Amino acid sequence: MERRAEPAAALLVACALRIEQAALRSGGERGAPDGYALLRTGMGPRAADLAVARALGPGGDRTAVLATGFCAGLAPGMNPGDLIVAEETRDPRGTVVCDGTALLAEALARAVPGRTVHLGALTGSDHVVRGQERAQLRATGAIAVDMESAATLWTATRDRRGPVAAVRVIVDAPEHELVRIGTVRGGISAFRVLRAVLPAFYDWHRSLLLPRR
C-alpha cells in the first residue's frame, strides 16, 4: 500500500513509477522536514492530476510540491544520469514557473557531484517521445520531456500558493534512445542519481521556507 501525503504536508515529492519510488526510498529520509511525504501518482498526466489533487486536499494550500523521476532529454550531448531542473513546466493548459531553481541546481550539484545539471523548460507529453518528435519538441525551446511533471505542477498551483519545482533525471537522450543497446546501463546510472537527490530537495525546501532576515 502506497504512503500518501497528509493534506498539511510541508513537502510533497511526487513521482510516477514504482522504480522511481524505490530509488527515492533507497536514498533514505534522513534530514527530511516535518510533514515530508513521497507520493507515487501512477503513469501519465491524468493519473498525476488526480493523485496530487487528492494528496493535497483542502488543507494543502502552502505545501511545497516537487515533481521528480526519469525523463527524456531533448538536446544533443545529454547523457543518462544528467539532471534537469525545470525553470518552467509546459503542457496544453499552460506554463507553470518554478520556484528557487538556482538554489535547487546548487543543492543538486552538492548532492550528486560530477553530474551535469541542465536548467530550462520541461514539457509534458501523454506518451513516450521518440525519434523525430524529440526534435520537434526541442524546437519549441524545451530541453526535456516527461509525462507527469507539468500535470503535477499545474494541479499543485491551481488555487494554491505553495512553492513548486521539478527535477528529472535523464534516462534516454538523442544519442541514447531507450531502444538502443545502452538502455540498461543508462537506466542504472539514472537510478543511482535519483537515489542521491533527496538531500537537495530538503535543502531547497528549507531555503525557500525559512524566515528571511
Domain ranges (residues) in the chain: 11-209
The three cell numbers locating residue 48: 498525476
Vertex 178 angle, CA 172 and 182, to 5°: 85
This prediction's pTM: 0.88
Rounded CA Rg of the chain: 16
The three cell numbers locating residue 58: 483542502
Decide if pLDDT at 37 tops 80.
yes
Region of poorest pLDDT, from 75-79, 87-91, 186-190, 205-209: 186-190
Q: Are 118 and 142 in contact (CB under 8 A)?
A: no
Architecture of domain 11-209: 3-Layer(aba) Sandwich (3.40)
Burial per residue of 69-82, b for 16 or more beta-carbon CB atoms within 10 angstroms, e otherwise: bbbbbbbeebbbbb
**148-193 pLDDT, tens digit each:** 999 999 999 988 878 999 999 999 876 555 544 344 455 788 899 9
